[in-house]
Amino acid sequence: MSIVAAFAVPHPPVIVPAVGHGREREASATIAAYEEVARRIAALTPDTIVISSPHSVMYTDYLHVSPGADARGDLSQFDAAGERVDLPYDTEFVRELCRRAQDAGIAAGTEGERDASLDHATMVPLHFILERYQDFSLVRMGLSGLGPMAHYRMGQQVAATAEALGRRVVYVASGDLSHKASEASSYGFAPEGPEFDEMIGHVFSTGDFLPLLTVDPGMAERAAECGLRSFQIMAGALDRTPVSAELLSLEAPFGIGYGTAAFLPTGPAGSDDSRDFGEQYLAWHEADMERRHAAEDGYVALARATVEGFVRDGREPELAGADGLLARLDGTTRGELERTRAGAFVSIKENGELRGCIGTIAPTCADLAEEIRDNAVSACSRDPRFPPITPDELGDLVISVDVLGEAEPVSDLSRLDPARYGVIVTDGGRRGLLLPDLDGVDTVEDQVRIAARKGGIDLGSNRWTLERFEVVRHT
């Protein structure tokens, strides 16, 4: 057997009556859809239910699968300790899944679990499922900071494991949609919130999973989404399998998007009417990166050539000479870089996630070309938050260069604007800097708090001072 069905579900604890105390009625469409999901699962009689959860163990570069024999948890953190789950884990499935993932080169396994208790994004689906069906074992996995294809390929291994072990498996992708779908949300509103939810609604109603892999990471972050990577694993579990797709509910009663959908295989994997979304994504990704590289200006081209040269050769590339980095640039850009002295930051992202960012507040080199080169080397190899970039990653990097204007002191927060100005917080010998116009940094208070944290500065000390600066961002 293999994947007999897959379901995408939200996980608001409030829809559990013991938590909601009546407020669950505000999400009646979601509850009705959940009851339908539970009814269908009971009719399918799966041996194993695999749940991916955004609130299980999560690492930047590793997909965690829960170890052990027993799956236990409750909703005591929501004052509903009576809502308890005690199920067996499918230990054979977990062992085989982890073996296959590692053989496929996916960073996944059972290491690093500090708290074995089930999280609420697992507990809420189980609350509804167990009301109808109890004769199954569980597999739980978390998400990661890895890219779309890592999650998709992990789903492929789920399907392969089910096939190898002869299990009837239902896949449950737990995940809320945007947390900023309307002004009713305690997280605030962002225009990207309803845009993201509309996109997911289309995916859930059509079974066209490609947008799950190609969605702009910046848009998803601004929408404050929750379940995207969970849905990517689900898509991989249905790889090359023709499915019927049904959107059971889509609502945002508390300003947070809740989507529920059912996907039923209508034929075996590899059928003529199936679609290989993984291959489609790889073709799209290659074309997208080529487009991005072609659109880069000379500043970013210099940073990219530096990163590629350093990562491949292990030494800082030369700027001058016939074979130097500057010789690859047009005369106008080369002249600007050689005439200008300024601080600069080089930021590197991979799959929408920060991969390195190092810079200088004020000029430290003879010219801007040298400033960018030195900071590009540091960003790809010396950012203490990340391991050095490897040659295999070079084709997936998105690089930007921020050239800093002169910093000026400000007397109060009213003179800041996180979309226009970067901020420097100083307390004695400590300094924390944050660039402007960053995804997820929407208020002055957030900007100052994050900058202070980066500098190890206590904002309660009343000794700190503020400066602001503008940047020219090259992308």
328 and 213 within one domain:
no
| Domain boundaries, position 425 | 405-475
Supply the pTM of this predicted model: 0.87
Determine, yes or no, domain membership for 283. no
Q: How many CA atoms lie within 13 A of 217 on its CB side?
A: 13
Determine, yes or no, domain membership for 364. yes
Q: What are the angstrom distances between the C-alpha of 88 and each of 92, 160, 167, 351?
A: 11, 21, 15, 35
Q: Which of 405, 440, 439 is nearest to 423 (CA)?
A: 405
C-beta of residue 211 within 8 angstroms of C-beta of residue 277: no
Question: In the predicted model, is pLDDT for residue 1 greater than 70?
Answer: no
Which of the 8 DSSP states describes residue 89?
B
137 and 272 within one domain:
yes
What are the DSSP calls for 423-453, one per residue? EEEEETTEEEEE-SS-TT--SHHHHHHHHHH
Compute, in degrees rounded to 10, the torsion defined by CA atoms 44, 50, 54, 58.
180
413 and 347 within one domain:
no
Reported as a single tens digit per residue, the pLDDT across 360-417 is 999 999 999 999 999 999 999 999 999 999 999 998 899 999 999 999 999 888 999 9
Reported as a single tens digit per residue, the pLDDT across 92-143 is 999 999 999 999 999 999 999 999 999 999 999 999 999 999 999 999 999 9
Reported as a single tens digit per residue, the pLDDT across 338-354 is 999 999 999 999 988 89
431 and 326 within one domain:
no
Determine, yes or no, domain membership for 8. yes
Determine, yes or no, domain membership for 286. no
C-beta of residue 353 within 8 angstroms of C-beta of residue 148: no
312 and 240 within one domain:
no
Number of structural domains (the chain) is 3
67 and 41 within one domain:
yes
* CATH number of the domain enclosing 357: 3.30.700.20
* CATH number of the domain enclosing 215: 3.40.830.10
Reported as a single tens digit per residue, the pLDDT across 27-83 is 999 999 999 999 999 999 999 999 999 999 999 899 999 999 999 999 999 999 999
Q: Which residues pair with 244 in a beta bridge?
A: 264
pLDDT on residue 266: 93
Choosing from 278, 313, 336, the residue where a domain stops is 278
